[in-house]
Amino acid sequence: MNRLTNFPYKNALVLGLAKSGEAAARILQENGVKVRVNDKENEGHNPIVAELRNLGIEVTTGGHPLSVLDHIEVVVKNPGIPYDNVIIKEAETRGIPIITEIEIAGMLAKGPIIGITGSNGKTTTTTLIFEMLKSSNKRVQVAGNIGTVASEVAKENKEDEILVMELSSFQLLGTKTFHPKVSVFLNIFEAHLDYHKTLEHYAQAKANIFKNQTENDFVVFNSEDAIVSKLVKESSANKVPFSPNVENTKGAWADDEWLYFQQNRIIRKEDIALVGKHNFENILAAVSAASLVGATPEGIKHVLETFQGVPHRLQFVKEVNGRVFYNNSKATNILATTTALASFSKPIILLAGGLDRGNDFDGLLPYLENVKAMVLFGQTAKKLKETGQNARIEQIHIVDNVEQAVQIAYELSSADDVILLSPACASWDQYRSFEERGDMFVKAVHKL
């Protein structure tokens, strides 16, 4: 197990007992740091509390008393906790540093880190890089916002193992020394402004991914994103742009027929399994990052010929009698659904609907030209129906749930149609998560 040899604090408060909080508390305690944990939920909601106390960790639950900051030198904050939290505000007043568990992961890791951030496409790009390196017979691990707590993976990381980490703005905002060998900055769109308040603050949080990089490191970035390109000018790392349109000698790019890394042909574009313009940008980023740490053209090509997507993110599910089904349940907003709709030129039957957050769906109108029918569900079904009528879509059906939607969509479809679940809404009116909603879609497709 790797040790925290350069952690400069002896007394730490872990704020929030989600997966990353539990991992941080255990690792700090194992490394001789005196740890205190604070969580707003009552301890009856979390069986981990008793386990941590048995390890000698002080745990306070059911609220946020300011006394938990007494004698504390650093706060390790759950990424989702906002900075207007009473403990965080008091810590800032007292001059106590605030970090996230990613900072600890960066200190523990022995091998090179590839860090991936951006508003859209992080999970797909992270997964592609991991698969490309694995297919090139590299020792590689994956962690971070993708689902596995980074510090848990980092404490077992070896010098010859590449650690690929998906990183959110919430995680990156709490870094001080975090230093990836390769940083990947995909794009910036307006998102999480309830947390970051302004687009500028959000973008600067993302830019923390390269703030500690040097001339011995690499920053892979989307040269066609104006905000990203401007931010990357501040980086000391070697700049590796990617673009679907502009030839360059440093990163990945494409012409009408081929995808290249630098001047080397990698794969014909028609042989790439993953669909969508946005996914092609993710592919270019992944090719660049994986190549920089030793992925082979053969390993990269194999992945691009076979990889059909991350679950719930424009995931190819199955072909049934000439109809192709795609699960894009992760599309919980209008932007994500418009991106999916723009990925297909064939006729589409759109399955959409979910939690009503008070918005209209006029933003979908320019993207509904190829939609021949809509099957709608959830709280927003009537709003989406009105949008469909404004787009002069003749076949619009409202059903009770995703399972019914699949059956109706199949009955409305013809061979060569795309049946696309891309809800444009959160799932919480009917389902516990977008994953549960997507799983129901996949099961219904396989029942056909």
User: 187, 121 in Cβ contact below 8 A?
Assistant: yes
How much is the pLDDT for 192?
Answer: 63
Three-state SS for 387?
helix
Q: Quick one: three-class SS letters along 305-367? A: HHCCCCCCCCEEEEEECCEEEEECCCCCCHHHHHHHHCCCCCCEEEEECCCCCCCCCHHHHHH
Can you state the percent helix, strand and coil of the chain, rounding each to 5?
40, 20, 40
Q: Provide the residue-wise pLDDT of the chain in tens; the chain has 448 residues.
A: 999 999 999 999 999 988 899 999 999 999 999 999 999 988 776 788 999 999 999 999 999 999 999 999 999 999 989 999 999 999 999 999 999 999 999 999 999 999 999 988 899 999 999 999 999 999 999 998 777 899 999 999 999 999 999 999 889 999 999 999 999 999 987 656 667 778 888 889 999 999 999 999 999 999 999 999 999 999 999 999 999 988 989 999 999 999 999 999 999 999 999 988 889 999 999 999 999 999 999 999 999 999 988 889 899 999 999 999 999 999 998 988 999 999 999 999 999 999 998 889 999 999 999 999 999 999 999 999 999 999 999 999 999 999 999 999 999 999 999 999 999 999 999 999 999 999 999 999 999 9
- The angle subtended at Cα 210 by Cα 207 and Cα 214, nearest 5°, is 150
Domains (range + CATH), the chain: 11-99 (3.40.50.720), 102-306 (3.40.1190.10), 315-447 (3.90.190.20)
Structure tokens at 407: 């059956």
Would you say how long the chain is, in residues? 448
The partner residues of 419 in beta bridges, in order of sequence, read: 325, 349
Report the predicted TM-score, pTM, of the whole model to 2 decimal places: 0.85
How much is the pLDDT for 154?
Answer: 97
Per DSSP, helices labelled H in 208-328 are 226-232, 277-292, 297-306
How much is the pLDDT for 354?
Answer: 97
Which amino acid would we find at residue 307? Answer: F
Query: Rounded to an integer, what distance in angstroms lies between the CA atom of residue 288 and that of residue 251?
Result: 5
Three-state SS for 11?
strand
Q: How far is CA 214 from CA 20, 181, 183, 218, in A?
A: 28, 9, 11, 8
Query: Rounded to an integer, what distance in angstroms lies between the CA atom of residue 229 and that of residue 275?
Result: 25
| CB atoms inside a 10 Å sphere around CB 385 | 18
